[in-house]
């Protein structure tokens, strides 16, 4: 009977039944194979400074080129590996891929910093900095400041002291830290004050609907106001149209990223994309308007 009660208690706290647990284990195993079999890809999305009209960096976003299912977005597999060591393995893979890409672009004369998304669990591993240093040493041609990290504010909720220490040590290496999906975690304002981050990324969910949803507009306005008061650079993601960009510029946000500028693309497409960008007259008009 005690055993039965124990089982019941277990089920109250863990919504996954045995079958689901086994399925998740299989999916994790499959993802581990994908890492080894080189099925993961990084796509890159440009980031724009509307003040000068220049592309100032790119964000690396992982995709899984699944042999049967096609190109999978991270939303389909990141939740499965959350809480497993695979988060760290993915993060280290991403860092190394970004360094390899930086080195290649550098040889082609493209000098754009690459933002890499790092999961909170990975950032908070005890040897995060040592392993990052080891990676940087393997790619000595790439200056550390060309690498930037994006971290969710939940990293601070788990362990603020460890998060602060990791952030400080990255910055000492010249690696900027962005706080990603800002506004989605609770007590965002506290984090804004506590975390010495180099960039605040306003979550795309607020930006996307800001022109039609007055609550989302209020959140975007408040974040931009607060970031400016704290003297922190900010970038709005999810900018799908020129109207979004104009509204953001009017509110005092200069950096943007979103489908309106470009969708994330495979790295081989970026050089050609960068060449045609100055010809995008619609966005150029916005920029010159902004300059006057
Ligand atoms: P994120 O870091 O906040 O990245 C922004 C997401 O918004 C990306 O989705 C991007 O494709 C999408 N996006 C960009 N512009 C627009 C737009 O104008 N409209 C809309 N609707 N969406 C836009 P994606 O690539 O599916 O990535 C989702 C999340 O997965 C990322 O959110 C990030 O948290 C996570 N992620 C992606 N790559 C990695 C990675 O290599 N490592 C880790 N740990 N997490 C990653
Ligand atoms: Mg990001
Ligand atoms: Mg984000
Ligand atoms: Mg996100």
- Give tens-digit pLDDT for 131-172: 999 999 999 999 999 999 999 988 877 888 999 999 999 999
pLDDT digits (tens, 9 = 90+) for 206-236: 999 999 999 999 999 999 998 999 899 999 9
Q: What pLDDT was estimated at residue 29?
A: 97
Q: Which residues contact 57 (CB under 8 A, 6 or more apart)?
A: 46, 47, 112, 113, 114, 115, 148
Give yes or no for residue 150 CB within 6 A of ligand 1: yes
- In this prediction, residue 287 has a pLDDT band, given cuts at 50, 70 and 90, of low
Residue 60 forms beta bridges with which residues? Answer: 44, 116
Q: Which of 117, 203, 236 to mutate to test the pocket of ligand 1 (most atoms within 8 A of CB)?
A: 117
Give yes or no for residue 15 CB within 6 A of ligand 1: no
Q: By the 8 A CB rule, do 58 and 47 touch?
A: yes
Q: Which of 85, 122, 204, 283 to mutate to test the pocket of ligand 1 (most atoms within 8 A of CB)?
A: 204
Q: How far is the CA of 180 from the centre of ligand 4 (A)?
A: 7
Q: How far is the CA of 181 from the centre of ligand 4 (A)?
A: 5
Structure tokens at 258: 């979103």
Rounded Cα distance between 206 and 271, Å, is 31
């Amino acid at each position: 009977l005690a055993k039965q009660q124990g089982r019941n208690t277990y089920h109250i706290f863990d919504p996954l039944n045995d079958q689901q647990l086994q399925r998740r284990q299989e999916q994790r195993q499959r993802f581990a194979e994908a890492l080894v079999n080189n099925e993961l890809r990084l796509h890159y999305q440009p980031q724009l400074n509307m003040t000068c009209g220049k592309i100032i960096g790119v964000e690396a976003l992982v995709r899984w080129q699944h042999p049967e299912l096609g190109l999978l977005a991270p939303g389909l597999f990141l939740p499965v590996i959350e809480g497993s060591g695979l988060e760290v393995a993915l993060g280290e893979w991403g860092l190394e891929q970004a360094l390899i890409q930086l080195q290649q672009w550098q040889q082609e004369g493209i000098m754009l910093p690459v933002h890499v998304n790092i999961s909170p669990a990975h950032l908070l591993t005890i040897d995060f900095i040592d392993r990052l240093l080891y990676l940087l040493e393997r790619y000595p041609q790439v200056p550390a400041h060309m690498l930037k990290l994006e971290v969710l504010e939940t990293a601070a909720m788990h362990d603020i002291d460890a998060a602060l220490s990791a952030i400080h040590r990255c910055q000492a290496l010249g690696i900027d830290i962005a706080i990603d999906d800002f506004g989605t975690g609770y007590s965002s304002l506290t984090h804004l004050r506590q975390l010495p981050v180099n960039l605040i990324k306003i979550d795309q969910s607020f930006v996307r609907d800001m022109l039609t949803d007055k609550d989302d507009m209020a959140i975007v306005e408040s974040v931009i106001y607060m970031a400016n008061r704290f003297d922190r650079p900010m970038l709005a993601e999810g900018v799908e149209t020129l109207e979004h960009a104009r509204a953001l510029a009017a509110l005092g946000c200069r950096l943007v990223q979103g489908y309106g500028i470009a969708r994330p693309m495979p790295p081989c497409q970026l050089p050609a994309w960068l060449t045609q960008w100055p010809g995008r007259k619609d966005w150029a008009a916005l920029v010159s308007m902004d300059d006057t």
